[in-house]
Amino acid sequence: MLLDLHPLVILINLVVLGCAMTVHEFAHNFVAWKMGDDLPKLQGRLTLNPLVHINWVGWLMFAIIGFGILGSAPISAERMRDPRRGFLAAVAAGPLSNLALAVASALLLRLGGWSAVGYYAYHLPDQVVDPLALLAALLYASVFWNVLLCVFNLIPLFPIDGWHIVQALLPGKWLDRMQIPVTIQQNVRPLADFMMFPAFKWRDWRTASYYVFIALIFLSFIPLGGASPFSLFVGQPTSAILRLLVF
């Protein structure tokens, strides 16, 4: 679904998403490096220079249609001192950095008393007549997009961060077969397998998870009376957090 194509809104989105994406990918790389992965440093990714991290096509797509691949981080659990905890910290650092940016932007809006100004300036760009209104619109957009990126990246579907976070949190072995109810073993074999080896089965379902993710993206662009999957899983939590931070 297309966003507001007013030139000023697109410009604001490009600036805000460029900053959000840069901080997000830098956080992944920096924490991974701290956890023992040398590749981010060798590739020169320990920088806040957006040119190092940006995916140009995804950046433009996100600013116009609200979806796109903003960047990537070459981090690997195998190169870390503690693969499970290190990878969990490095992956979680991305969405948490976006939440931190959203909170910082919201604080500036509140301290300046610009919450209403930012909201109306962003949604009614033709009424932006002074630098203060433009600054307020940028801060409001920063809260909105950073919250959205945080929530979106916590969805537990491959290849986004949420899938990797769940993978790192799940134990390799959980229950023995005798501990699983016979009904589940006989009728819900995938669940029984998952209860025995959660992390390994989660990894095995990666491809299926990816197909679900792609299907949800396509469904988001089909008119469903405002009831698309992402409006439920991303839009509603984003709106709730946005109201809490800004108003």
Could you tell me the residue ranges of all domains in the chain?
Answer: 7-155
Please state, in angstroms and as integers, the Cα–Cα distance from residue 235 to each residue in 66, 157, 171, following that order: 11, 17, 31
* pLDDT for the residue numbered 64: 79
* pLDDT for the residue numbered 223: 65
> Omega into 95 within 30° of 0, i.e. cis?
no
Q: How many CB atoms lie within 10 A of CB 68?
A: 17
Mean pLDDT of the chain: 91
**Active-site residue, from 17, 19, 20, 25:** 25
Structure tokens that stand for 64 in this block: 């116009």
Integer Cα distance of 63 and 23 in angstroms: 17
pTM: 0.92
| 244: nearest Cα among 107, 145, 118 | 107
pLDDT in tens, the chain (247 residues): 556 678 999 999 999 999 999 999 999 999 999 999 999 999 999 999 998 988 888 888 877 777 777 788 899 999 999 999 999 999 999 999 999 999 999 999 999 999 999 999 999 998 887 899 999 999 999 999 999 999 999 999 999 999 999 999 999 999 998 899 989 988 999 999 999 999 999 999 999 999 999 998 888 777 666 567 778 889 899 999 999 999 8
Residue 156: which residues within 8 A CB-CB, separation 6 or more? 162, 163, 165, 166, 209
Is 78 catalytic? The answer is: no
Q: How would you class 36 by CB atoms within 10 Å of its CB: exposed for 0-12, middle for 13-18, buried for 19 or more?
A: middle
